[in-house]
């Protein structure tokens, strides 16, 4: 599996050199690369960027960091992929779908200014306080916000609209599973409990407002679309020949 080969960075040759000489260098700690995991056992209803309320899976971000969550510390001479091969195989046995990190995200789902590529991006970083440099891996939809100073710790926003549309497309293409009936029932049961709890609010005006909000959210989930991957458009019935 073509997963980013860099696990951790190292400091520049001289900690007194200008770490911000490169335009893309950020004042942040390096991080390990990651892969997305998807499961039919969890999900939520999303609306942002979509035509209507839609059930979509929740993705887990699995960091490929040696010594953590079953990712091994490899010995000299071993291929880098040996570090996470068993950890990812264990996740598959547990029912997770591992999203191929080399899969290209279609251009219509990428934030403006992002080049064609996969769902992860690597930024060059140098952490001023610790003096550690390397690469920091982020989701492509995680976009840097303006900073007062170039050396300030970066802030990020998330392009939820394009991310949700990509998720819906991934389910439609059968790359990842839609939340199954049991997962949806669990969410609905939690919402039902929340709706029922509003009756315990003493203040009548507040109780009415909260009950309206809760009921509205429950109805939205009831009406939410469940994507059926690979569903074919029903064929038109054949016309009967005239006698």
pLDDT tens digit sequence for 87-138:
888 999 999 999 999 999 999 999 999 999 999 999 888 888 888 888 899 9
DSSP characters over 182-203: HHHHHHHHHHHHHHHHGGG-SS
Averaged pLDDT, 156-164: 96
How many Cβ atoms are within 10 Å of 183's Cβ, its own excluded?
20
Dihedral sign for Cα atoms in the order 91, 231, 161, 117 = positive
- Going by pLDDT thresholds of 50, 70 and 90, the confidence category of residue 172 is very high
Please tell me the predicted confidence (pLDDT) of residue 78: 73
| Side-chain-side CA neighbours of residue 20 (13 Å) | 10
**Residue ranges covered by each domain of the chain:** 34-147+155-172, 181-226
Q: What pLDDT does residue 77 have? A: 72
DSSP letter at 215?
H
The pLDDT of residue 12 is above 70: no
On the question of pLDDT at 235 being above 70, the answer is: no
Q: How high is the pLDDT of residue 182? A: 95
Lowest average pLDDT, out of 10-14, 94-98, 205-209, goes to 10-14
Top pLDDT among 50 and 10 is at 50
Question: CA neighbours within 13 Å on the CB side: how many for 201?
Answer: 17
Greatest mean pLDDT among 24-33, 123-132, 179-188, 229-238 lies in: 179-188
For 9, the token pair is 């960075």
Q: Note the pLDDT of residue 2.
A: 52
* pTM score of the predicted model: 0.79
Our CA angle for 179, 182, 186, nearest 5°, is 95
**pLDDT of 75 strictly over 90:** no
CB distance 101 to 120 below 8 Å: yes
> In this predicted model, what pLDDT tens digit does every residue of 209-230 receive, in sequence order?
888 888 999 999 999 999 987 6
Dihedral in degrees, nearest 10, Cα atoms 124, 127, 133, 134: -40
């Amino acid at each position: 599996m073509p997963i980013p080969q860099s696990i951790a960075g190292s400091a520049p040759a001289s900690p007194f050199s200008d770490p911000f000489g490169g335009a893309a260098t950020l004042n942040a700690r390096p991080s390990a690369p990651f892969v997305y995991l998807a499961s039919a056992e969890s999900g939520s209803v999303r609306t942002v960027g979509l035509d209507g309320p839609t059930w979509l899976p929740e993705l887990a971000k699995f960091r490929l960091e040696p010594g953590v969550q079953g990712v091994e510390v490899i010995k000299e001479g071993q291929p880098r992929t040996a570090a996470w091969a068993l950890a990812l195989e264990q996740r598959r046995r547990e029912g997770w779908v591992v999203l191929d990190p080399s899969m290209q995200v279609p251009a219509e789902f990428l934030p403006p200014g992002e080049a064609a590529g996969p769902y992860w991006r690597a930024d060059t970083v140098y952490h001023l306080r610790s003096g550690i440099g390397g690469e920091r891996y982020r989701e492509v939809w995680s976009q840097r916000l303006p900073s007062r100073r170039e050396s300030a710790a970066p802030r990020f926003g998330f392009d939820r609209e394009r991310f949700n549309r990509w998720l819906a497309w991934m389910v439609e293409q059968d790359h990842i599973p839609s939340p199954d009936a049991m997962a949806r029932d669990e969410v609905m049961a939690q919402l039902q409990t929340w709706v029922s709890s509003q009756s315990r609010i003493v203040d009548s005006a507040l109780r009415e407002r909260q009950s309206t909000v809760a009921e509205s959210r429950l109805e939205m989930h009831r009406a939410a679309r469940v994507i059926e991957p690979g569903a074919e458009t029903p064929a038109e019935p054949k016309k009967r020949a005239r006698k």
